[in-house]
Structure 1
């Protein structure tokens, strides 16, 4: 299924931004991250055009309720602070895109040049097969699956990792993984920094 949206601005003439802001990043990443779909933004003189593609199996048709109230609180995780030292790449496995973006921002501020995110086991393993990471952060509960398969793969590759969880998981950590560090979400940037420095010894 293809969904297309267009908003036209009469004045001033729309120009492509020199730097992608949080809003653009959120629009372009949300659908691919959450639904494995596609999203593209185009800045043309007549206005901003957006193309969205969502897998048809995720679409359900029905009547719109008379009253639909939704409260959304979005924290801007964008940051202009970037560390001078490049300390490699990190992987964040997290099914909540906003939490993943916030962790990405914190890790890049510490000096990680590349921080990749994946919302599922399949996509995380695909990244592991094509990249080398100095450290990984694994949310235990990934919707209908856990990150334990990724954890065992990281143990085999001798890549350090940290579990994250926002609550008492219904999936107990296996005995042979209980020695791994677990930090609670939301992950405080200072706590994240302390954990990274302790593990990587820098």
Structure 2
């Protein structure tokens, strides 16, 4: 099971929907991950993406309170951090530079998101 490969992986959760962020945190905790966040704004996500010494992977909601989280994705990608977008938008709405980023379209399940981050961490 991919989620078992998350043991001791430091995963950043960037999600502005509290209930979804909390469920993700619980699922990742259960899988043995070390959860960073969750954070729900672009500003807080940028601060964490820049200041955390080690981030093994990230789950990033594309739309944070009406603001695109692309600057956060750019920082994470520049650091070599694998990430998964969660979004209600289809892939054609993402900027071309993010076409190769793994994506879970909402509505989705927490288990699918957890499996997706497991896959990108160990590709």
**TM exceeds 0.5?**
yes
TM-score of the pair, normalised by structure 1 = 0.52
**1:129 Cα deviation (Å)?**
2.4
**In structure 2, C-alpha distance between the alignment counterparts of 1:130 and 1:140, rounded to whole Å:** 21
**In structure 1, C-alpha distance between the alignment counterparts of 2:63 and 2:41, rounded to whole Å:** 10
Gaps of 5+ in 1: 1-82
- The question of 1:143 aligning with 2:65 is answered yes
Q: 2:103 aligns with which of 182, 186, 189?
A: 182
Aligned length: 117
- The question of 1:159 aligning with 2:81 is answered yes
Gaps of 5+ in 2: none
TM-score of the pair, normalised by structure 2 = 0.82
1:146-177 alpha-carbon deviations (Å, 9 max, x no partner): 11011111111110111101x237x9211011
After the TM superposition, which segments of 4 or more aligned residues of structure 1 sit over 4 Å from their partners? none
**In structure 1, C-alpha distance between the alignment counterparts of 2:97 and 2:41, rounded to whole Å:** 22
Which protein, 1 or 2, shows the higher relative CO under an 8 Å CA cutoff with sep ≥ 6?
Answer: 2
Higher helix share: 2
- The question of 1:128 aligning with 2:49 is answered yes
For the 8 Å contact 2:89–2:105, the answer to whether it is kept is: no
For the 8 Å contact 1:103–1:187, the answer to whether it is kept is: no
Q: 1:109 aligns with which of 23, 30, 42?
A: 30
SS of alignment partner, residue 51 of structure 2: coil
For the 8 Å contact 1:92–1:138, the answer to whether it is kept is: yes
1:23-64 alpha-carbon deviations (Å, 9 max, x no partner): xxxxxxxxxxxxxxxxxxxxxxxxxxxxxxxxxxxxxxxxxx
**In structure 1, C-alpha distance between the alignment counterparts of 2:105 and 2:47, rounded to whole Å:** 26
**In structure 2, C-alpha distance between the alignment counterparts of 1:189 and 1:138, rounded to whole Å:** 13
**1:182 Cα deviation (Å)?**
0.9
Task: Name the residue aligned to 1:192.
Answer: 113
